[in-house]
Amino acid sequence: MNVPVSFRMRFGMLAFVAVTLAVLAGQARAQDYPTRVVHVVAPFGPGGPADVFSRVVAQKLSDTFKQGFVVENRPGASTMIGTDAVAKAAPDGYTLVIISQTHAANESLVANKPFQLMRDFAPVSPIYAGDLVMVVHKSVPVKTLKDFIALAKAKPGAMNYASSGTGSQYHLTGELFKTMSGTDIVHVPYKSSTGARNDILGGQVEMMFDTIATMGPSVEAGLVRALGTTGEERSPNLPDVPTISEAGVPGYPQLDRDQGILGEAGSRAAVDDSCGIWRLHRRRDREMGEGRTERRGEDQLIQS
């Protein structure tokens, strides 16, 4: 199946993921792991960028190991429901979790979580990173970011923006925009980015931050209007869209969408030593080779 995945991904990263798991599993029975299906929990709603990226990686891992890596969507409570399920899973390396910046935000915003990332999980591998884009529904009477800011200031509290939930990256990115632009825009949290995305496309909400990977096609189709991206420079996929800093909010920092894989801290497949990490990075560098791209915001289109 051809799945368009648009993001700044270093070429060879999927191979890096496979090598990572092999090295980590090597602490116990490298020649055997995995001997059965590995469950990859995506604590996000289906159809969003995290879900799509998770499935691309899972397919690559299945092809590499000749064993099933099955993605399970367990959204809710800003990723905490699915993440907690992995924290409580058997520590055998057969249950992994996909993480994003929302997990990092939860560490600071939610004190009474049933798990702690640093205590209950061990890193397996990064997956990708890509810039966000700020869009408005096509019915919003603005053409530029400065127009939008002027409209929002003229109607304080009357406009709204969608996110995938309180504490999510999209929420925090929107709040930072409000603070730096001096606007009063109402936050509308959804249970998943898919719900938020559907409503920005349908005109139920007026503004949203989303990944270029998922919102780019809607921009090109004219369903929404892109006002700015969160990269240090313009995205090659949306070259006519200025950065937010360039378009009207000077100093707006680079904010991208990052994702990775964690395993349970007690899992023998998620424990490594310094020698294993050293070999892993040597192998990763060879896999990436000349195809590696260092440019932030590259947002390459990859067909898998």
Domain CATH number, residue 278: 3.40.190.150
Counting the structural domains of the chain, the total is: 2
Determine the Cα–Cα distance for residues 304 and 56; give it in Å rounded to an integer.
Answer: 7
Is 77 within a domain? yes
252 is a domain residue: no
Contacts for 53 with CB less than 8 Å, ≥ 6 apart: 5, 7, 98, 127, 128, 213, 259
Q: Are 50 and 211 in contact (CB under 8 A)?
A: no
Does one domain contain both 43 and 108?
A: yes
Q: Is the dihedral of CA 96, 230, 296, 2 positive or negative?
A: positive
Domain that holds residue 241: 130-247
Element (H, E) at 39: strand 38-42
Domain co-membership, 121 together with 134: no
Note whether residue 27 is domain-resident: yes
Q: What is the pLDDT of residues 95-147, one digit of tens each?
A: 999 988 778 778 877 888 899 888 888 887 777 778 899 999 999 999 999 99
Q: Alpha-carbon distance 147 to 81, whole Å?
A: 39
Tokens of 23: 């090295």
Within-domain flag for 54: yes
- Say yes or no: 274 and 288 in one domain: yes
Distance CA 69, CA 25 (A): 15
Retrieve residue 247's tokens: 């378009």
For residue 77, what are the CA distances in angstroms to 119, 169, 189, 264?
20, 14, 11, 20
pLDDT (0 to 100) of residue 18: 53
Q: Are 6 and 237 in contact (CB under 8 A)?
A: yes
Three-state DSSP at 164 gives coil
Domain match, 108 and 134 both: no
Structural domain contains residue 96: yes
Do 121 and 141 have their domain in common?
Answer: no
13 shares a domain with 117: yes
Last residue of a domain, one of 207, 226, 247: 247
SS (H, E, C) 189-221: ECCCHHHHHHHHHHCCCCEEEEEHHHHHHHHHC
Report pLDDT for 22.
53
Q: What CATH number has the domain bearing residue 230? A: 3.40.190.10
Q: Angle formed by the axes of helices 49-65 and 13-25, to 10°?
A: 60
- Does residue 253 belong to any structural domain of this protein? no
Q: Give the tens place of pLDDT for each residue, 252-273.
A: 987 766 778 888 887 644 434 3
Convert the pLDDT of each residue in 179-200 to its tens digit.
999 999 999 999 888 899 999 9
Question: Where is average pLDDT lowest: 14-18, 204-208, 211-215, 220-224?
Answer: 14-18
Same-domain pairing of 135 and 230: yes
Verify that 120 and 195 share a domain, yes or no.
Answer: no
CB-CB contact of 171 with 165 (8 Å): yes
Distance (Å, whole) CA 240 – CA 231: 13
Residue 136 sits in the same domain as residue 240: yes
Tell me: cis bond preceding 34? Omega within 30 of 0 counts: yes
Does residue 25 share a domain with residue 81?
A: yes
- The pLDDT tens digits for 28-78 are 444 467 888 999 999 888 877 778 878 888 888 888 888 899 999 998 887
Among 268, 287, 265, 264, which Cα is nearest to 276's?
268
DSSP string, 103-120: HHHHHHH-TT-S--HHHH
Residues 19, 114 within the same domain:
yes
Q: How much is the mean pLDDT over the chain?
A: 78
Cα–Cα dist 62/55, whole Å? 10
- Confidence label for 303 from pLDDT (cuts 50, 70 and 90): very low
pLDDT for 155 equals 96
